[in-house]
Amino acid sequence: MAMITKKKIGTVATWIMTFLLMIVICLPGLWVVLTGFRPNREILAKPAIWIPENLSLDNFAKIFGFGAEQIAIPVPAYFTNSLVIALTSTFIALLIGMSGGYAFARYRFKHKNGYFLGLMLSRTVPGIALSLPIFMVWSKLGLIDTKLGMIIIYVALNIPFTIWLIDGFFRQIPKEMSEAAQVDGCTRWQAFWQIEFPLAKSGVASAGIFAFLTSWNEYALASQLTRSTDSKTLPVGLMDFTAQFTIDWAGMSAMAVIIIVPALILTFLVQKHLIAGLTFGGVKG
């Protein structure tokens, strides 16, 4: 009896702690989302209105240029830029990550550990510390304020991580799998796509989502290197809502929602793989 009660108390306590922790983590996010649906009037009211009275899509209509109130912020262009830059850089980082990860996992070559260590060490440099050199090189190359410029930077930022994660996955797959497939009639290429890739796709998927989120959310470098609707991304665009004396909290929050939602959707779509990716949940056959 006493045992059971003790256990129960333990469980309840765990849940309460989890709940409190989740509130701390999620509340700001939830507040931003809520704010996105409220008028500026209500947001700035004093004393604060805690329970929302008016919820509407007005702010979203506004920033996309519909409805009565117009603002001069080109959100659709920023959205497109973000999407193009994040998707392209993720795709390239994945291709390189897959080739690199496969090579590190499967082949012996000289200075292999050195190269690997070098890749990992490159992650220790904070991206923003590179902004000045990148700015100088990019201005020479004419890459300032271009999508290509940002794509290159994000690819470089992401490949150490994608290589590392994907290498771990290929390493788990016994090389005999590929050999068995080759004996069974496959070329090396077929063996890769038919056997090794399906077994490593959790790794590729999680590497993909991490790479996408990094590019999608990155602010520091993008704010230095983008200027106009040619390349400005959503996080940088957020700052457009700050004028000299005022901040359009409603519009900013609506835009934040627009940044959050695609990332959330993507995360949900691949969450099964993500868990496998994070726990390295093997392929033991």
Partner 1 sequence: MADIQLNNVTKNYGKLEVVHGINLDIEHNEFVVLVGPSGCGKSTTLRMIAGLEEITGGEISIGGRVVNDLAPRKRDISMVFQNYALYPHMTVRENLGFGLKIAKQSKDIIEQRVNEAAAILSIEDLMDRTPAELSGGQRQRVAMGRAIVRHPQVFLFDEPLSNLDAKLRVQMRTEIKRLHQKVKTTIVYVTHDQVEAMTLADRIVVMKDGHIVQVGAPLDVFERPVDTFVASFIGSPPMNLIPGEIALQDGRLHVVFQAENTMPVPRDLADKVVEGQKVIFGFRADDMMPKAHSLPILGEAYDLRLAVDIAEPLGTETLLFSTFSGADIQTKMFNPRRVEPGEVMDFNCALDKTHLFDAQTGKSLRG
Residues that bind partner 1 (CB under 8 A): 174, 176-177, 179-187, 190, 194-195, 198-199, 283-285
Distance between start and end Cα atoms, the chain:
43
Closest distance to partner 1 from the beta carbon of 181 (Å): 7
Closest distance to partner 1 from the beta carbon of 189 (Å): 11
Residues found in the chain: 285
- Helices of type H across the chain: 2-36, 40-44, 58-63, 75-106, 112-122, 131-141, 147-172, 175-183, 188-191, 197-217, 220-225, 234-237, 249-269, 271-279
Closest distance to partner 1 from the beta carbon of 211 (Å): 24
Nearest to partner 1 of 186, 220 (CB atom): 186
Nearest to partner 1 of 46, 284 (CB atom): 284
**Three-state SS across 229-264?**
CCCCCHHHHHHHHECCCCECHHHHHHHHHHHHHHHH
- Whether 96 and 159 have beta carbons less than 8 Å apart is answered as yes
Nearest to partner 1 of 47, 185 (CB atom): 185
Closest distance to partner 1 from the beta carbon of 269 (Å): 20
Closest distance to partner 1 from the beta carbon of 194 (Å): 8
